[in-house]
Amino acid sequence: MTFFKRKASTNLSTLVNVEDVYVATTTITSSHNDGTGWGPRCVTWYFLVKLENNEYHELFAGKKIEKEEDTHKDDMVVANFDTPYIEKIEPLTEYLRDKSKKKINIQLLFDFITNMNVLNSLGAFEDNESDEDDEETED
């Protein structure tokens, strides 16, 4: 059996305009019951999104991602299980070392967002948030 390595594409269609891409921090309420009795688990997940017609769509699949404020209807919070809701949107440029970069390869974007989600799952971002909270309470 032979394995073939895919050649790296030099096609310009694999490049994305940096200014069109945002990093969405979302919350997903899981429908999975882990048996602890604590109720549904809320998971923070990062997506790369594009703004199209005043709606955010996931960069790779094109699926619309709801904003958190869209869940408030008639003074009630209505949210579906296993659906990501946007808490925060930041331009991709906030995450780049070279802020002057205009185009970026889509594979690098995929690797970036995968790394963000893996690090988040391992708790890498929780320490930063708790450190900031500790600093605020000390003042």
Q: How far apart are CA 49 and CA 21, in angstroms?
A: 6
Question: Phi and psi of 133, rounded to 5°?
Answer: -65, -40
Residue linked to tokens 């919070």: 77
Whose CA is closest to 26, among 132, 113, 108, 96?
A: 113
Q: How far apart are CA 121 and CA 108, in angstroms?
A: 20
Structure token digits, residue 129: 């948030």
Q: Give the count of beta carbons closer than 10 Å to the beta carbon of residue 47.
A: 23
What pLDDT does 139 receive?
47
Ordered per-residue pLDDT tens for the chain, 139 residues: 445 555 555 554 589 999 999 999 999 988 877 788 777 788 899 999 999 999 999 999 999 998 876 555 666 666 778 889 999 999 999 999 998 999 999 999 999 999 999 999 898 887 555 555 455 444 4
What pLDDT does 1 receive?
43
